[in-house]
Structure 1
Amino acid sequence: MTDATTATTPWLVAGLGNPGPEYAGHRHNAGFMVADLLAERMGGRFKAAGRGARAQVCEGRLGAPGSPEAQRVVLVKPMTYMNLSGGPVASIGGYLKIPLERTVVIHDELDIPFGALRLKRGGGDNGHNGLKSVTGTVGRDYLRVRFGVGRPPGRMEVAAFVLRDFSAAERKELDHLVDRAADAVETLIGSGLERAQNTYNS
Structure 2
Amino acid sequence: MIILAGLGNPGPRYQNNRHNIGFMAVDAIARRWKFGPERAKFQSVISEGEIDTPAGAVRALLMKPQTYMNESGRAVGEAARFYKIPPSQIIVFHDEIDLAPGRFRMKTGGGAAGQNGVRSLISHLGADFRRARLGIGHPGESHLVMPHVLGDFHKAEQPWLEALLNAVADALPFAAAGDDERYQGEVMRLAPAPKFSPRQAARDV
| Superposition TM-score, scaled by structure 2 size | 0.86
Report how far residue 190 of structure 1 moved: 2.6
More deviation, 36-45/151-160: 151-160
When the two structures are aligned, how many residues end up with a matched partner? 188
Query: RMSD of the alignment, in Å?
Result: 1.7
The aligned counterpart of 1:24 is 15
The aligned counterpart of 2:84 is 97
1:189 aligns with 2:189: no
The aligned counterpart of 1:173 is 160
Report how far residue 184 of structure 1 moved: 4.1
The aligned counterpart of 1:60 is 49
In 1, the alpha carbon distance for the partners of 2:15 and 2:142 equals 24
Matches within 5 A, 1:95-134: 95-134=82-121
SS state at 1:176 partner: helix
Contact residue 119 and residue 197 of structure 1 kept, 8 A = yes
In 2, the alpha carbon distance for the partners of 1:152 and 1:35 equals 25
Quick one: percent identity of the two aligned structures? 39
Q: Describe the shift of the 1:132–1:95 C-alpha distance in structure 2 as closer, same or farther (beyond 3 A).
A: same
The aligned counterpart of 2:135 is 148
1:87 aligns with 2:74: yes
Which whole-Å deviations, capped at 9, do the CAs of 1:64-108 have from their partners, x for residues lacking one?
Answer: 5xx231210001110011000000000001101111111110000
Report how far residue 198 of structure 1 moved: 3.8
Q: Describe the shift of the 1:139–1:112 C-alpha distance in structure 2 as closer, same or farther (beyond 3 A).
A: same
Contact residue 28 and residue 166 of structure 2 kept, 8 A = yes
In 2, the alpha carbon distance for the partners of 1:35 and 1:193 equals 17
Contact residue 38 and residue 182 of structure 1 kept, 8 A = yes
Q: Describe the shift of the 1:186–1:164 C-alpha distance in structure 2 as closer, same or farther (beyond 3 A).
A: farther
Contact residue 39 and residue 46 of structure 1 kept, 8 A = no
Contact residue 14 and residue 105 of structure 1 kept, 8 A = yes
> Which consecutive unaligned segments of at least 5 residues does structure 1 have?
1-9
More deviation, 25-34/36-45: 36-45
In 2, the alpha carbon distance for the partners of 1:33 and 1:175 equals 10
Which whole-Å deviations, capped at 9, do the CAs of 1:107-164 have from their partners, x for residues lacking one?
Answer: 0000001011001111111000000000111101001110000001456521111000
Report how far residue 41 of structure 1 moved: 2.2
Contact residue 13 and residue 103 of structure 1 kept, 8 A = yes
In 2, the alpha carbon distance for the partners of 1:158 and 1:135 equals 22
> Which consecutive unaligned segments of at least 5 residues does structure 2 have?
193-205
Q: Describe the shift of the 1:75–1:98 C-alpha distance in structure 2 as closer, same or farther (beyond 3 A).
A: same
1:35 aligns with 2:35: no
Report how far residue 185 of structure 1 moved: 3.5
The aligned counterpart of 1:136 is 123
**One-letter code of the match for 2:47?**
C
Q: Describe the shift of the 1:127–1:39 C-alpha distance in structure 2 as closer, same or farther (beyond 3 A).
A: same
